[in-house]
Amino acid sequence: MAAFKALYRAENILFKNLSGPGRVKLILAYPKLSKACGCYFSTSSQRSLKFCSDPADAVKDIPNGSTILVGGFGLCGIPENLINSLLKTGVKGLTAVSNNAGVDNFGLGLLLKTKQIKRMISSYVGENAEFERQYLAGELEVELTPQGTLAEKIRAGGAGIPAFFTPTGYGTLIQEGGAPIKYNKDGSIAIASEKREVKEFNGRHYIMEKAITGDYALVKAWKADKAGNIIFRKTARNFNQPMCKAAKTTIVEVEEVVDVGTFAAEDIHIPSIYVHRIVQGESYEKRIEKRTVQKKQDEKPKPKKDSDIVRERIIRRAALEFEDGMYANLGIGIPTLASNFIKPDITVHFQSENGILGLGPYPTEDMVDADLINAGKETVTVLPGAAYFASDESFGMIRGGHLNLTMLGAMQVSKYGDLANWMIPGKMVKGMGGAMDLVSSAGTKVVVTMEHSAKGGKHKILEKCNLPLTGKQCVDRIITEKVCESLYLICSGCYCKFIQCLGEKK
């Protein structure tokens, strides 16, 4: 104990000497590092935390060919100042690991436009037309990865776990291999994904996924204290939190740097051990992809088209799936709209995979917050008792079977309950996003809502899906505009309950 007290006193003396003039002396002792980064040190030389003077200084030593982990979900929580500075360096041949790649003229979309990124590892192409164009034209390598698997690969990398087994993607191109990573100019596949190892645990099949680590992580946080601890704000946490832990060098841009002690120790999201450089951003655009607000009470409703009437029939029937006390995740489009028709005497807790439990209605104009969006990138609110969390935590809830219901759309569903909803090879690629994870849990009911036929009258309920699968034997119920009776099919040991309205018996 005496030795411990002596060590404690010595440590206090050291830190006192490092304050004021002592800090300047420490910088001058390492002139090369100080000049290279434009930073000052806040800890000892054994492991230096550096506060950089501007974003350009923080990223200018990132070399060609680096693997960078870039936080954010859509445009929410992206390190926009670091990305803009990296753009100006002209660094090339990057492998960028990010849930998506921003939009055409903002976020990582800027680095795609200048061809500084060689390979994207993402779950979702989304609304970035240039991302999709480069991929289909064979100009960009793209590893499309289920969103929850991507989050877990990053989390595992930061925790020193080289690989893990997950049910997500079993029976799909992810497991079977052959998914196009890069196309040739003629549309043939130049680089294909590798087949995954499969093991069976407790009667279920799981595939092996390898961890991801990066050379650098570019992270956006809300605040940092002068010891290097950081906190995030609302849904801007997303992929930023696990990425902090999975890179050799983690660079964090923040809106504010505060004194040590401003945060209670129990409120810190990322402790300083994971952080190497911090820079305070000068300005933030915080662009919103889908600014969605409540309709004004005096606003006249628009006349309904035939397609609107069809969709409303599906939505109203889908709302009958909700039960009191249920935890549910709703996909983009028709599923999300079903929440408007919940019975007034029941309570349903909505989860959004970008990091919300307790999702509320759309905001009024004065409540719009760029740091608070849903998985569809729409502005939202939360209800009393809500919680925010990172993407790895969110998909732990999903894969772990903690949700009672997931409702999502589809391009095709087979009579066996197979689901396809994420790509048309060579033509349209939006990515699987979180869908593969959402349908992977054996304990969660999966309901598909969709129009009965595709454009041109093509069937969407088929004997066998001819598009790449999202999930195998995973759909419990289909709801279309043609509900009339329930069909119960027992196919290859899979129980599927199909609901149709005004359709033909089969």
Give the active site residues: 353
CA dihedral 438, 444, 450, 454 (to 10 degrees): 60
Please, is 344 exposed, middle or buried when counting C-beta atoms within 10 Å of its C-beta (0-12, 13-18, 19+)? Answer: exposed
How far apart are the C-alpha atoms of 409 and 397, rounded to whole Å?
Answer: 21
Strands 117-122 and 94-97: parallel
Contacts of 385 (CB under 8 A, 6+ apart): 358
Tell me if 181 sits within 8 A of 239, measured CB to CB: no
Tell me if 150 sits within 8 A of 99, measured CB to CB: yes
SS3 category, 394: helix
How far apart are the C-alpha atoms of 82 and 128, rounded to whole Å?
Answer: 20
How far apart are the C-alpha atoms of 467 and 427, rounded to whole Å?
Answer: 12
The residue whose two tokens read 């919300």 is 356
Contacts of 168 (CB under 8 A, 6+ apart): 146, 148, 149, 174, 207, 399, 436, 437, 440
Q: At what angle do helices 2-18 and 21-28 cross, to 10 degrees?
A: 80
How far apart are the C-alpha atoms of 311 and 314, rounded to whole Å?
Answer: 5
DSSP letter assigned to residue 367 = G
Tokens of 166: 């997950």
CA dihedral 101, 102, 107, 113 (to 10 degrees): 60
How far apart are the C-alpha atoms of 274 and 316, rounded to whole Å?
Answer: 48
Tokens of 457: 């009258």
Please, is 139 exposed, middle or buried when counting C-beta atoms within 10 Å of its C-beta (0-12, 13-18, 19+)? Answer: middle
Tell me if 415 sits within 8 A of 495, measured CB to CB: no
